[in-house]
Structure formats: structure tokens, C-alpha cells
Amino acid sequence: MHKAEGRGDGTLRTRAEADLASIHQPVLVMNGESDKMVPTKNTVDLDRRLPNSQLVVYPDAGHGGVSQFHEDFVKRTLEFL
């Protein structure tokens, strides 16, 4: 279990969450705008906490956004790699 630390806004974060800032490898973060399993706000927060990330949010897409936008997903992923 990770130790909880204060965020300064009355909520807590775990050490694992705080440690994301130490990841300097490039990270491609992708999600569908209407994803109910992984809400977009979580995806945006993940992108914000990773110092070297690229964010792609597919409009009008749910959890299967990468399938709905398959051609764009493959293109961006290959460019990223």
C-alpha cells in the first residue's frame, strides 16, 4: 500500500500518483471523450502529471475510441514509436 500525502486542496494522493512526475520517457495517452470506464478528466490528469506525454482525446468516442478511430490511432501510434 502506498503512503497518502496531502495535495493542499483537502484531498489525498498516493505516493504512486506523485511518482508519475519522475517518469521522463515519452508517453502517448489516448482516450475517448465520452469514455465512462476511464473518464476524460482522469486522462487529462494523467497527461498533466507525466512531464513528457502527448495527449489525444477522440471526440464523440467512448472506451473503444481507439477502435472507432482505428486509422488515426495506428498513424499516431506509429509516429510516436
Q: What is the pLDDT of residues 18-64, one digit of tens each?
A: 678 889 999 999 999 999 999 999 999 999 999 999 999 999 999 98
Distance CA 47, CA 74 (A): 20
Distance CA 81, CA 72 (A): 14
Q: What is the per-residue pLDDT for 19?
A: 78
Q: What is the per-residue pLDDT for 66?
A: 85
How would residue 2 be classed by pLDDT, with cut points 50, 70 and 90? very low
What are the domain boundaries of the chain? Answer: 12-80
